[in-house]
A and B are shown apart, each in its own frame.
Chain A
Amino acid sequence: MTGLTGFQAWAAMGGYAVFVWPAYATALVVLGGAGLFSWARYRASLRDLDRLQREPRER
């Protein structure tokens, strides 16, 4: 019970939760999104390049 209360108190951020958590969520979504998008494009570029380099040998 005490643990839950402690967690709730921490999550409430002294009454500033409505500002603190959206700030961290923004950083996570924007920077995490940039990371995931960059990585996905990198993997796609590797796949495309690999396919283009293999094509002449496959003919």
Chain B
Amino acid sequence: MLTYLANPARFMRWSGPPLVPLAVATALTLAAGLYLALAVAPPDYQQGESVRIMFVHVPAAIMAEGVYYVIAAASFVALVWRHPLAEIAAQAAAPLGAAFTLVCLVTGSLWGRPMWGTWWAWDARMTSVLVLFFLYLGYIALVNAFDDMSRGARAASVLALVGVVDLPIIKFSVDWWNTLHQPASILRAGGPTIDVTMLVPLAVMALGYVLLFVTLQLVRMRTALNVRKARALLLAAPSRRGGATAAGAPPDATPVLR
């Protein structure tokens, strides 16, 4: 199965056709989610209308962690089996994970000010999510820190695997320590504790975020493969060296596609 998937040309063939349907499904799901979140869901009896921030914050938090699991798994496969697409998948996902984590941090802060009376607290949950954001930035920086792309990719993969230790800390921080952040109310033993009128908009928004990630991940992986193929073409024709660059690709970069 891995050998079958390891073929970039095969990936390019199957990942092209679903792009437009996925983009349309993403747009429709997010539009429905926003309608439910802003116009249908009732205000909370304690938080009032500020509860609507939850509909963009919680799915972002779920994606921030979920995307990191994707990167860690892909990095593991890239390190152990040298799977060519795994490395590309991890590198394509990192900026998306960072974006979801940034949304999670900013919207959490905007919710915290009226509810907790502070924009930020060095609380275990918030601090561990901030660490996750720095892990994403560190991963992206490491990938681009070396002239030899494969060395950068390996170093970043190791960082991604080490950083996995932060994920259970994020998840259980609200149980292990006395935190300002409330305990889990959705992904918990015994089922969600929030009312179905809020759970449905939350689920639709979460589905929209997942679809957005899948769509952009495919787009970014296809972009990376195009850039690598362009590099290979530049290197194959000596007269082109030092001339045109494909999507910012340095002319002396190592070709991956052959």
Q: Which residues 205-254 in B have Cβ within 8 Å of A in the complex? A: 209, 212, 215-216, 219-220, 222-223, 226-227, 229-230, 233-234, 237, 240, 244-247
A42 and B222 alpha carbons, distance in the complex (Å): 7
* Chain A positions within 8 Å of B215 at CB level: 35
Contact B220 A31 (CB under 8 A): no
Query: Counting CB contacts under 8 A, is A3 at the interface?
Result: no
Identify the closest chain B residue to A56 (Cβ): B237
Given A42-B223, A49-B226, A23 and B111 contact (CB-CB distance below 8 Å): yes
Q: Smallest distance from the beta carbon of A11 to chain B beta carbons, Å?
A: 10
**Among B53, B212, B227: residue with most chain A CB under 10 A:** B53
Query: How near does chain B come to A22, taking the closest CB pair, in angstroms?
Result: 6
> Is A53 within 8 A of B233, CB to CB?
yes
Q: Are B114 and A31 in contact (CB under 8 A)?
A: no
Q: Residues of B contacting A44 with CB < 8 Å?
A: 247
Q: Is B50 an interface residue (CB 8 A)?
A: yes
Q: For B179, what are the chain A residues with a Cβ–Cβ distance below 8 Å?
A: none
A33 to chain B, nearest CB (A): 8
A residues 17-42 touching B (CB-CB < 8 Å): 19-20, 22-24, 26-27, 30-31, 33-35, 38-39, 41-42
Chain B residues lying within 8 Å of A34, measured Cβ to Cβ, are: 95-96, 99, 216
Contact B229 A51 (CB under 8 A): no
Q: State whether the Cβ of A4 lies closer than 8 Å to any Cβ in chain B.
A: no
Query: In the complex, A30 Cα to B237 Cα: how many Å?
Result: 39
Contact B48 A51 (CB under 8 A): no
- Residues of chain A within 8 A (CB-CB) of B57 are 23
In whole angstroms, how far apart are the Cα atoms of A49 and B226 in the complex?
A: 7
Beta-carbon contacts under 8 Å, B106-161 to A: 106-107, 110-111, 113-114
Assess whether A31 is in contact with B50, with CB atoms less than 8 Å apart.
no
In the assembled complex, the Cα of A52 lies from the Cα of B234 at a distance in Å of 8
Known: A14-B48, A26-B103, A34-B96. A19 touches B110 (CB 8 A): yes
Apart from A16-B49, A23-B57, A49-B230, 5 more pairs, CB < 8 Å: A23-B106, A23-B111, A24-B56, A26-B103, A27-B60
29 contacts between A and B (CB under 8 A): A14-B43, A16-B48, A19-B50, A19-B110, A22-B110, A23-B107, A24-B38, A26-B56, A27-B107, A30-B99, A30-B103, A31-B100, A31-B209, A31-B212, A34-B95, A34-B96, A35-B215, A38-B216, A38-B219, A38-B223, A39-B219, A42-B220, A42-B222, A42-B223, A42-B226, A45-B226, A45-B246, A49-B246, A55-B240
Which residues of B are at the interface with A, using a C-beta cutoff of 8 A?
Answer: 34, 38-39, 43, 48-50, 52-53, 56-57, 60, 95-96, 99-100, 102-103, 106-107, 110-111, 113-114, 209, 212, 215-216, 219-220, 222-223, 226-227, 229-230, 233-234, 237, 240, 244-247
